[in-house]
Structure formats: structure tokens, C-alpha cells
Structure 1
Amino acid sequence: MTERGQTIMICWGLIFMYIYGFALWGLLGMMPPPPATLDANAVAAFYAEHGFKIRLGAVVTSWTSAFMVPFSVVVAIQLARLEKGVPIWSILQFAGGILMSIFLVLPPMFWGIAAFTTTRPPEVTALMHEIGMLTLVTTDQFFIFQMVAIAVISLTQKIDAHSPFPRWMGYFTIWAALMFEVGAIAFLPKSGPFSWNGIFVFWCPLIIFGTWVTVMSISMLLALRRQAAAR
């Protein structure tokens, strides 16, 4: 793949990520999310009151929520150029990134379904809402494979002036991965810093994730410019 093609894919993923974030906040109303302590009637009332905006948010995120796919493709290509033989870390990163994107795609779909019919029993709407929230914040299953692969290459590669993965990127990625893993705790409490709207489960991972993808994208864009100039 050419440097131009990779640049387009990075920008594609980055723009879609910011649109997704806007929809999460401005349309879906999930930034911050409603507290997990709300009863079924309160949840149903939330969806009845904001139904159109939530359905519109589901439309927008249906177009943009798989933004990690082009991002992960370019990361895999850039990792592979640093590996010798079979690029196992590149393959692991690609698999983790692609599978993890599913957990960004599904939550807005669940919320859109919850808002689609407001006349159903409140308990059903509350169930769809809970599935969406917990799917989003407990997305730890596949992140780790993508990030470990990036960290390994960043920390073990020989010096390469054209690499987008300097050593500090490895440490940054390890720190981000550790922060993401806290999300699974959201299955336990319904209030406090470890609930699904708490600082350690929602806000820290959200901010760190957006920062990590942005920093990684900028690093790859700069590296692609150096690689193109070296041709």
C-alpha cells in the first residue's frame, strides 16, 4: 500500500472517530451516560424524551462507528515493515483492532433499538440500555491484543528513523492498555468511580482512548511523510 493510501485511511479513521464522539455526546446523550442506579421507568422516560435524537445518533454512528478498521490496517502495515519473517505481532494487532471495533459498533445500535419503540415495557428498554452501556465500557477483550503487539514492537525494534513507533510509544501504549482494563469492573458496582459513568471506567478510558488514537495517528502520518521522502 502506498504512503498516500495509508494517509487517506488514517485520516478516514480519525475523522470518523471524532464524529462518533460527537454523536455519543450530542445525539445519543451518553456522554456522560445516565447513572446505572436509574430504575426501569426512569430509563424508559429518558428514551421517550430523547427518542428522535438517539435514533439519529444511531444513524450517524452506523456510518462511523467502525473507525478502528482503517486505523488498524495501517498500524498492521507499519508494524509489518519492522518485523522479520512472519509478522505475527502485526497479525495479532490487526485481529485485536478489527474485533475490538465490534464493541464500538454495537452499543449505539442497542440504544437506537431501545429508542425505536417507546411503547414497550420499561424493563425491556432498560435491558437494551444496560446491554449497550456495558458493551461499551467493558470492551477489554480485544484491546489488549492490539496494544501488546504495538508495545512489543515499539520496545524491541532496532532504531528506525522512519518508524511511527518510537520507544516512548510503547510505554504510552502499555499505560493506556492498563487504564482500559479497568472497564470490566463496571459489572460490579452501580455507583461510584468504578460504575459505568464513573471516572475510572468511563471518563479516563474515553479520554485516554481518544488521545491514544490521535497521537498514534499523528505519529503514523509523520512517519509516512518521512517514508515517502526517502523513496
Structure 2
Amino acid sequence: MSERAQAIMIWWGLAFMYIFGFTLWGLLKMMPPPSATLTADQVAAFYADNSLHIRLGAMVASWTSAFMVPFSTVVAIQMARLERGRPVWAVLAFAGGIMMSIFLVIPGVFWGVAAYTPTRPAEVTALMHELALLTLTTTDQYYIFQMVSLAFLSLTHKGDVPDSPFPRWIGYFTLWAALAFEVGAFAFLPKSGPFSWNGAVVYWMPLTVFGAWVTTVSVAMLRALKRQAAAKMPQGAVSNDA
């Protein structure tokens, strides 16, 4: 895959991530989410009052929420450059990133379903609402595979591969981000406070760290791709590849 194609995929993923984030806030009304202490009738009223906005948000999320797919593809390709022999860490990172994207896609579908028929029984709407938010905040199962793989290669590769996008500080930052995400599973326990699904520890910290991590790794890869493209060019030629 050319450096230009990889750069396009990174920008594609970044653009979709930021559109999805705006959609969470402006249309889906899930930044921050409603309190987990709302009754079923209050949840149903929330979806009835915001039905059009939420359905529009679900539509936009249907187009943008799988942004981890192009991002994870380039991460895996760049990781494979650093491995000797079969790129098992790159494959694991790719698999983790692709599976991770599923649990960013599903919540938007559930929110759209919850808002689709405001006249249904309140308990059914509340169930869809809970499924969506708990899917968004507690599905930490796959993040760890991409992040630990990337951190491992960042911290252990010998520097014998030129123009790596993953210096050691990326490895340390990735490990910290992985720990920040893993607290999401606590959302199953309390309904209020910092560990609830709209709390500072379970919602705001992972959300902020996730956006910062994807952006930072993307910028590092874009810079490395420019260096990789320049290294392929004959001396004195001008590269248009990244």
C-alpha cells in the first residue's frame, strides 16, 4: 500500500471520528448522557422530546461510527514494518481495532431504535437506552489487544527500521490510554457518581483520552509516512505521495 493511500485512510478515520463526536453531542444528546437514575417514563419522554434529533444522529452515526477501521488498517501496516518474521503483533492489533469498531457502531443503532417509535411501552425504550449506553461505556474487551500490541512494539523495537511512527513515548502514552479505557466496565455497578455511565471516570476520562490517543497516533503516522515517501524518492525529486 502506498504512503498516499495510507495517509488518505488516516484522514478518513480522523474526519469520521470528529463527525461522530459532534453527533454524540449535537444530535444524539449523549455528551453527556442522561443520568442512569432516570425512570423508564423519564427515559421515554427524553426520546419522545428529541426523536427527530436522535434519529438524525443515528443516521449520521451509521456513516461515521466505524472510523476505527481505516485507522486500524494503517496502524497494522506500520506495525508490520517493525516486526521480524510473521507480523503477529500487527495482526493482533488489526483484529482488536476492527472488533473495537463494532462496539462504536452498535450504540447508534440502539439509540435510533429507541427514538424510532415514541409510542411504544416506556420499559422497552428504557431497555434500548441502557443497552446503547452500556455498550458504549463497558465494552473494553477489544481495545486492550490493539493498544498492548502497539505499546509492545513501540517499547521494544530496536530502531533498525527507519522512519518508524511509533517512538517509545507513543508506547507509554498507549499503555496509559489502555488503563484509562479499562475502567469503563465499572459502569455496570453504580448508577451515580464518577463510575456511572455519565461519570468523570467512566465516561469523560476515556472519551477524552480516546480522542487524544487516536489523534496523536494519527499525526505520528502521517509524519512518518511523509518521511517514508521521501526516502523512496530519488535524490532531488519531489514527493507527492503522502
* Structure with max Cα Rg: 2
1:52-73 Cα deviation digits (max 9, x unpaired): 0000000000000000000000
- Paired letter, 2:47: Y
Aligned equivalents of 1:208 and 1:161: distance in 2? 28
Aligned equivalents of 1:139 and 1:154: distance in 2? 25
Look up the match of 2:108: 108
User: 3-state SS of the aligned residue for 1:34?
Assistant: coil
Look up the match of 1:120: 120
Look up the match of 1:97: 97
Look up the match of 1:21: 21
Q: Does residue 190 in structure 1 map to residue 191 in structure 2?
A: yes
Where do 1:158-177 residues align within 5 Å?
158-159=158-159, 160-177=161-178
TM-score scaled by length of structure 2: 0.95
Aligned length: 231
Look up the match of 2:37: 37
1:3 Cα offset (Å):
0.1
1:161 Cα offset (Å):
4.3
Q: Does residue 63 in structure 1 map to residue 58 in structure 2?
A: no
Identical amino acids, percent of aligned pairs: 71
Q: Does residue 141 in structure 1 map to residue 134 in structure 2?
A: no
User: 3-state SS of the aligned residue for 1:230?
Assistant: helix
Look up the match of 1:207: 208
Aligned equivalents of 1:93 and 1:219: distance in 2? 17
Aligned equivalents of 2:31 and 2:220: distance in 1? 28
Unaligned runs of 5+ in 2: 233-242
> Does 169-178 or 156-165 show the bigger shift?
156-165
Aligned equivalents of 1:34 and 1:177: distance in 2? 26
1:105-159 Cα deviation digits (max 9, x unpaired): 0001000000000000000000000000000001200000000000000000012
Unaligned runs of 5+ in 1: none
Where do 1:76-91 residues align within 5 Å?
76-91=76-91
Aligned equivalents of 2:131 and 2:178: distance in 1? 23
1:135-187 Cα deviation digits (max 9, x unpaired): 00012000000000000000000124400100000000000000100000000
1:72-116 Cα deviation digits (max 9, x unpaired): 000000000110111000000000000010000000100000000
Aligned equivalents of 1:145 and 1:158: distance in 2? 22
1:181-211 Cα deviation digits (max 9, x unpaired): 0000000000000000000000000000000
Q: List, as ranges, runs of 4+ consecutive aligned residues in structure 1 with deviation greater than 6 Å.
A: none
* C-alpha RMSD over aligned residues: 0.5
